[in-house]
Amino acid sequence: MSSEDSAGREELWVLLVDDDPMQLAMIKPILEDLDNLLHIDTLSDPIRAVQMIRNFDYDCVVSEYVVGGRHEINIFKAVKNIKPIPTILYTSRDYIEVQRMAELSDVNGYVQKIMDPENYLLLVKFIRETVKKYRGKNPDRKYRNDPMTTWQTKKRNRVGTTRDVVYGS
């Protein structure tokens, strides 16, 4: 099974982290509808998010600035220490407010949350561009080019995670 469509876009697995259940429930289907080759997993608990990064091959992590009362900047650093994958800050805070923190935390970029349909398309494009740019800078790293294996799907279900919205405890 090919993981690319005729336009050359490939399937990407994205972990979206936000402590607002309404955001997770709303954004996941919108992003997947805008790009049917994006597969979005969602979590509201940053610690569980880090555990998921250890166990599964995500192509990108997109997270709110503050999740569960923790500054996500530290989670971004934890992700970078676990696996070298792109991270995107997705926040409702003003760009100027988070720009310095984003630079210090080694995120690959940030997009401001705005309840506007065009903003979701911007996020989808930014995810794709960030992953492509990151892979261009890291050509020796092996990337998963196939859809998630049955083994990974079964393992996901054992740890209590599915492709649907999952709320952290």
Secondary structure, 3-state, the chain:
CCCECCCCCECEEEEEECCCHHHHHHHHHHHHHHCCCEEEEEECCHHHHHHHHHHCCCCEEEECCEECCEEHHHHHHHHHHHCCCCEEEEECCCHHHHHHHHHHCCCCEEEECCCCHHHHHHHHHHHHHHHHHHHHHCCCCCCCCCCCCHHHHHHHHHCCCCCCECCCC
Domains (range + CATH), the chain: 12-135 (3.40.50.2300)
79 or 33, which is more confident: 33
DSSP state of 139: T
168 or 149, which is more confident: 149
* pLDDT, position 159: 40
Q: Answer whether 9's CB lies under 8 Å from 34's CB.
A: no
136 or 70, which is more confident: 136
pLDDT category at 150 given cuts 50, 70, 90 is: very low
Average pLDDT over residues 75-103: 82
| Residue 10 CB-density burial (10 A; 0-12 exposed, 13-18 middle, 19+ buried) | middle
pTM of the model: 0.77
Residue 81's φ and ψ, nearest 5 degrees, are: -75, -25
Q: Answer whether 128's CB lies under 8 Å from 12's CB.
A: yes
